[in-house]
Amino acid sequence: MDISITNQGAGRPARLSTRAKLLFSTGDLSTSIPLAIVMFFQLYFLTDVAGLRPDLAGLAIGIGRVWDAVNDPLFGLFSDRIRTRWGRRRVLLLFGAVPLGLTFALMWLVPPWGPAGMVAYYAAAFVLFDSVFTAVHVGYNALTPEMTPDYDERSSLNGYRMVFSISGTLGAIILATVLGWIVEDQRLLFGLLGLALGLVSMVPPLVVV
């Protein structure tokens, strides 16, 4: 990403341009969009679309949630210690963008397996998605204070980020609602939704990088 700055005079950090703030803030779409769909629809999808019993659906989700509690500090430590030619943070976005979209799409398919196989599939898909999601999220959040040392500029940048985050959440829910009006087959609906939003989620990390 080309970061444009405006010189504020000697002794004061340069300002981030509006363009730089907008480009950087698109990164929030890569996390707010898939997270909104997971939070709103994951349990419904597993029970009412995939046909799992509630206890089995809870088991698949629970395995992913346990891993989520473990992997956050692990990826944070990894991000602090890794050294690459792309830097410590951007490498997570660069190599996490495509897997983020692919693993998200896999979560919304219905394999032709029995209950045990489906639990294993959805637990594995959720663990893989959550791993890549965390890597991208940690790398992106850690970039914010590295964009500028100025407190006011950071506050402004976070304001831009919040707008994109809310927009991504609302946009994902609106798209899901509209598709629900058009597509009657629930399995096809969630398959299309996962594919479309998975592809969209791949783009913002690459814009930030």
What span, in angstroms and rounded, lies between the C-alpha atoms of 97 and 94?
A: 6
The residues, ordered by sequence, that sit 6+ positions from 125 with a Cβ below 8 Å of its Cβ are: 103, 106, 107
How many beta carbons lie within 10 A of that of residue 86, not counting itself?
Answer: 13
What span, in angstroms and rounded, lies between the C-alpha atoms of 168 and 197?
A: 10
Q: Over the stretch 79-125, which tens digit does the pLDDT of each residue have?
A: 666 776 666 677 888 888 999 999 999 999 999 999 999 999 999 99
Nearest alpha carbon to residue 57 among 67, 45, 69, 68 = 45
* Mean model confidence pLDDT for the chain: 88
**Is 16 within 8 Å of 153 (Cβ atoms)?**
yes
What span, in angstroms and rounded, lies between the C-alpha atoms of 66 and 68?
A: 5
CATH T-level fold of 23-208:
Growth Hormone; Chain: A; (1.20.1250)
Q: Over the stretch 116-158, which tens digit does the pLDDT of each residue have?
A: 999 999 999 999 999 999 989 888 888 888 888 888 898 899 9
**Helix-strand-coil split of the chain, %, nearest 5:** 80, 0, 20
The pTM assigned to this predicted structure is 0.87
Average pLDDT, integer, range 182-200: 95
3-state class of 194 per DSSP?
helix
